[in-house]
Amino acid sequence: MTSNEFRKMALQLPEVVESSHMRHPDFRVGGKIFATLGYPDSDLGMVKLTPDEQELFVQMEPEGFQPVNGGWGRQGATNVHLRSAKKSTVREALLSAWRLRTPESPARHVGKANLPKRRGRR
């Protein structure tokens, strides 16, 4: 996976804006960062997951996902090794991180199998 593919995946999610934080690209929804790219080097992305989600992604793909060092990592910040991570797993991780930062709205349910049923007109 390339940094451009990571960027495209992030920007395909609803209401996402690319911005910059500490001289590297970040991806935000509702003004909150859910992923970054290129820090500390160009081969890495980062997704903000829960610690439980982080553990699952690291177990699924230990070559592709690793906790960020220090306190941020203990809170769920997870490095994505772009060259090693599978695109499908990165897509899932981005979606999970995006959902955690998405303001309460119907868009939050994107990608969920249990979408609410539409009610008929009355």
Encode 27-92 in three state secondary structure. EEECCEEEEEECCCCCCEEEEECCHHHHHHHHHHCCCCEEECCCHHHHCCEEEEECCCCCHHHHHH
- Note the pTM of the prediction, 2 decimals: 0.84
In a domain, residue 122? The reply is no
What is the percent of the chain with per-residue pLDDT over 90, rounded to a whole number? 77
At 32-42, the pLDDT tens digits run 999 999 988 88
In a domain, residue 101? The reply is yes
At 37-72, the pLDDT tens digits run 998 888 999 999 999 999 999 999 999 999 999 999
In a domain, residue 10? The reply is yes
In a domain, residue 111? The reply is no
Residue 100 sits in a domain whose CATH number is 3.90.1150.30
